[in-house]
Amino acid sequence: MSTSTEAITPIYYDTDLGIDDAMALAYLLASPKVDLVGIGTVSGNCSAAAAARNTLDFLGVAGRADIPVAVGAHDPMVGAFDGGSPEVHGDNGIGDIELPAASAEAVAGDAADMVIELAHTHPGRLTVLAVGPFTNLAIALEREPELPQLVADVVVMGGAACAPGNVTPVAEANIWHDPEAADAVFTAPWTVTMVGLDVTMAHRFSLDDQQALTQSGRPAAQAISAMLDTYMSFYTPIFGEPCVALHDPLAAAIAAGDIDTVCAPTVGIRVDVTDGPGRGRTICDMRGRYRGYPAPEGARHRVVLEIAEPFAPRLREAILSV
Amino acid sequence: MSTSTEAITPIYYDTDLGIDDAMALAYLLASPKVDLVGIGTVSGNCSAAAAARNTLDFLGVAGRADIPVAVGAHDPMVGAFDGGSPEVHGDNGIGDIELPAASAEAVAGDAADMVIELAHTHPGRLTVLAVGPFTNLAIALEREPELPQLVADVVVMGGAACAPGNVTPVAEANIWHDPEAADAVFTAPWTVTMVGLDVTMAHRFSLDDQQALTQSGRPAAQAISAMLDTYMSFYTPIFGEPCVALHDPLAAAIAAGDIDTVCAPTVGIRVDVTDGPGRGRTICDMRGRYRGYPAPEGARHRVVLEIAEPFAPRLREAILSV
ipTM of the complex: 0.91
What is residue B1's predicted lDDT score, i.e. its pLDDT? 38
Q: For residues B17 and B51, is the Cβ–Cβ distance under 8 A?
A: yes
CB contacts of B272 in chain A (<8 Å) are 276-278
Q: Say how many C-beta atoms besides its own lie within 10 A of residue B191's C-beta.
A: 15
Q: What is the DSSP string of B259-316?
A: --EEE--EE-EEE--SSSTTTT-EEE--GGGGGT-PPPTT--EEEE-EESS-SHHHHH
- pLDDT tens by residue, chain B, 322 residues: 344 555 899 999 999 999 999 999 999 999 999 999 999 999 999 999 999 999 999 999 999 999 999 999 999 999 999 999 999 999 999 999 999 999 999 999 999 999 999 999 999 999 999 999 999 999 999 999 999 999 999 999 999 999 999 999 999 999 999 999 999 999 999 999 999 999 999 999 999 999 999 999 999 999 999 999 999 999 999 999 999 999 999 999 999 999 999 999 999 999 999 999 999 999 999 999 999 999 989 999 999 999 999 999 999 999 999 9
Shortest distance, CA A303 to any CA of chain B (angstroms): 14
Q: Confirm whether A229 is a catalytic residue.
A: no
Which residues have CB under 8 Å from B69's CB, separation 6+? B38, B39, B40, B41, B52, B55, B56, B59, B104, B106, B107
Residue ranges of chain B whose CB lies within 8 Å of a chain A CB: 162-166, 169-170, 201, 237-240, 268, 270, 272-278, 281, 283-287, 289-292
Task: Give the pLDDT band of residue A156 (cuts 50, 70, 90).
Answer: very high
pLDDT in tens, A226-276: 999 999 999 999 999 999 999 999 999 999 999 999 999 999 999 999 999
Shortest distance, CA A196 to any CA of chain B (angstroms): 14
Give, to the nearest 10 degrees, the angle between helix A219-239 and helix A19-30.
Answer: 130
Q: How far is CA A115 from CA A12, A132, A140, A183, in A?
A: 7, 15, 7, 19
Task: Give the pLDDT band of residue A143 (cuts 50, 70, 90).
Answer: very high
Task: Give the pLDDT band of residue A7 (cuts 50, 70, 90).
Answer: confident
Mean pLDDT of chain A: 96
Interface test with B, best of A287, A291, A305 (most B CBs within 10 A): A287
The pTM of the full predicted model, rounded to 2 decimals, is 0.94
Shortest distance, CA B52 to any CA of chain A (angstroms): 31
Shortest distance, CA A184 to any CA of chain B (angstroms): 15
Using CA atoms, how far apart are residues A144 and A188, in angstroms rounded to an integer?
12
From A201, A237, A277, residue closest to B272, measured CB to CB: A277
In the sheet that holds A301-304, the strands lie side by side as: A69-70, A34-41, A9-15, A127-130, A153-157, A192-195, A301-304, A266-267
Q: For residues B89 and B19, is the Cβ–Cβ distance under 8 A?
A: yes
Q: What does DSSP assign to residue A122?
A: S
Q: Where are the alpha helices (DSSP H) in chain A?
A: 19-30, 48-61, 86-89, 111-121, 135-143, 147-150, 173-176, 179-187, 197-200, 207-214, 219-239, 247-255, 312-320
Average pLDDT over residues A125-137: 98
CB contacts of B165 in chain A (<8 Å) are 287
Average pLDDT over residues A105-129: 98
Residue ranges of chain A whose CB lies within 8 Å of a chain B CB: 162-166, 169-170, 201, 237-240, 268, 270, 272-278, 281, 283-287, 289-292
Closest to A254 in 3D by CA, of A43, A9, A58, A2: A9
Q: Do A290 and B166 touch (CB under 8 A)?
A: no
State which residue of chain A sits closest to B242, comparing Cα positions. Answer: A291
Q: What does DSSP assign to residue B256?
A: T
Q: What is the DSSP string of B158-182?
A: ---SSS--SSSSS--HHHHT-HHHH
Closest to B251 in 3D by CA, of B167, B139, B147, B159: B159
Which residues have CB under 8 Å from B191's CB, separation 6+? B153, B154, B300, B301, B302
What is residue B5's predicted lDDT score, i.e. its pLDDT? 54
Residue A28 has pLDDT above 60, yes or no: yes
Residue A212 has pLDDT above 70, yes or no: yes
Task: Give the pLDDT band of residue A2 (cuts 50, 70, 90).
Answer: very low
Using CA atoms, how far apart are residues B207 and B186, in angstroms rounded to an integer?
36
